[in-house]
A and B are shown apart, each in its own frame.
Chain A
Amino acid sequence: MNNLKLNIFLLALALLAPAVLYPVFLAKVLCFALFACAFNLLLGFVGLLSFGHAAFLGTGGYITGYLMINSGLTPEIAILLGTLAGAALGAIFGKLAVKREGIYFAMVTLALAQLVFFIYLQAPFTNGEDGMQGVPRGHAFGALDLSDNLVMYYFVLAIFVFGYWLINRTVHSPFGQILKAIRDNEDRATSLGYDVNRYKWIAFVISAALAALAGSTKTLVFQLASLTDVHWHMSGEVILMTLVGGVGTIFGPVLGAGFIVTMQNYLSGGELGNYIHIIMGVVFVVCVLSFRSGIVGQLIKFKRNNFS
Chain B
Amino acid sequence: MFDINLFGLFGQLLVGLINGSFYALLSLGLAIIFGLLKIINFAQGALYMLGAFIAFLALEYLGINYWAALIIVPITVGLVGIMMERFLIRPIANEDHLYSLLLTFGLALIIQGAFTHMFGSSGLSYAIPEELKGGNRLPFMYLPNYRAWIIVASVLVCFGTWYMIEKTKLGAYLRAGTENPQLMQAFGINVPLIVTLTFGFGVALAGFAGVMAAPVYSVSPDMGSNILIVVFAIVVIGGMGSIGGSILTGLGMGVVEGLTKYFYPEASTTVIFLVMVIVLLLKPAGLFGKEA
Contact = CB atoms under 8 A, between A and B. Distances in A.
Is chain A's binding surface mostly helix, strand, loop or mixed? Answer: helix
11 contacts: A96-B280, A102-B98, A103-B98, A104-B236, A107-B232, A119-B270, A277-B110, A281-B106, A281-B107, A284-B102, A288-B103
A57 B263 CA distance: 33
A288 B91 CA distance: 10
A283 B101 CA distance: 15
B57 interface: no
Given A102-B98, A232-B225, A274-B117, A284 B109 contact: yes
A284 B105 CA distance: 8
Contacts of A289: 88, 91-92, 103
B40 A106 contact: yes
A292 B284 contact: no
A55 to B, nearest CB: 12
A275 B113 contact: yes
The range of chain B's interface size is 35 or more
Contact of A114 (B95, B109, B229, B281): B229
A250 interface: no
Nearest to B95: A292
A288 B113 contact: no
Contact of A281 (B38, B108, B225, B276): B108
A5 B76 CA distance: 57
Contact of A278 (B113, B235, B236, B276): B113
Interface string A33-60: 0000000000000000100000000000
Contacts of A104: 236
Contacts of B101: 49, 103, 106
Interface in B240-270: 266, 269-270
Interface of B: 34, 38-40, 88, 91-92, 95, 97-103, 105-114, 116-117, 225, 229-230, 232-233, 235-236, 266, 269-270, 273-274, 276-277, 280-281, 284
A172 interface: no
A111 B236 contact: yes
Contact of B110 (A99, A232, A281): A281
Contacts of B114: 278
A175 interface: no
A119 B101 CA distance: 27
Contacts of A275: 113, 117
A49 B266 CA distance: 31
The 8 closest A-B pairs by CB, nearest first: A284-B106, A281-B109, A277-B113, A281-B110, A115-B273, A278-B113, A111-B233, A99-B284
Contact of B236 (A100, A232, A285, A288): A100
A281 B113 contact: yes
Contacts of A107: 40, 232-233, 235-236
A100 B289 CA distance: 11
Contacts of A100: 236, 280, 284
Contacts of B281: 96
Interface string A94-122: 00100110111011101110110011001
A255 B225 CA distance: 29
Given A103-B97, A284-B103, A277 B112 contact: yes
Interface string A267-292: 00000001111101111110111001
B110 A278 contact: yes
Residue among B116, B230, B269 having the largest count of chain A Cβ atoms under 10 Å? B269
Contacts of A89: none
